[in-house]
C-alpha cells in the first residue's frame, strides 16, 4: 500500500489534517482530520512501510498497546483511507 500522489499531511494549529494538492485536489474535495496516532501511521505509510503487520508493530511500540487493539485500529485506519481514495 502507498499514499497516492497529491495527498499530504499537515499540522495546523496543533491538529493533523490530510489534504489533496495539485491534480489530486480535482477529485478529492475535503480534509481528513487525524489524531496523533493516525498521523504516525500516515507518515509511516508515506515513508514506504506497506504492510499492515509493520504498521501494527509500529503502533504497538509507540503506544504500548496489545496486539489485538493495534491490529483492529490499524485495520480500521487503512480501510478508511482506502475508502477515501487516499491510499492504494
88 residues of the chain, pLDDT tens digit each: 999 999 999 999 989 999 999 998 888 888 999 999 999 999 999 999 989 999 999 999 999 999 999 999 999 999 999 999 999 8
pLDDT of residue 76: 96
pLDDT of residue 29: 83
pLDDT of residue 27: 87
pLDDT of residue 56: 97
Backbone angles phi, psi at 23, to 5 degrees: -60, -30
How far is C-alpha 50 from the geometric centre of its chain's CA atoms? Answer: 11
Instruction: Name the residue ranges covered by the structural domains of the chain.
Output: 7-83
Amino acid at each position: 500500500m502507498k499514499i497516492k500522489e497529491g495527498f499530504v499531511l499537515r499540522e495546523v494549529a496543533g491538529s493533523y489534517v490530510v489534504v489533496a494538492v495539485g491534480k489530486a485536489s480535482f477529485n478529492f474535495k475535503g480534509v481528513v482530520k487525524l489524531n496523533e496516532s493516525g498521523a504516525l501511521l500516515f507518515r509511516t505509510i508515506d515513508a514506504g512501510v506497506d504492510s499492515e503487520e509493520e504498521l501494527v508493530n509500529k503502533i504497538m511500540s509507540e503506544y504500548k498497546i496489545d496486539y489485538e487493539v493495534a491490529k483492529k485500529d490499524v485495520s480500521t485506519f487503512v480501510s478508511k483511507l482506502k475508502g477515501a481514495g487516499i491510499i492504494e
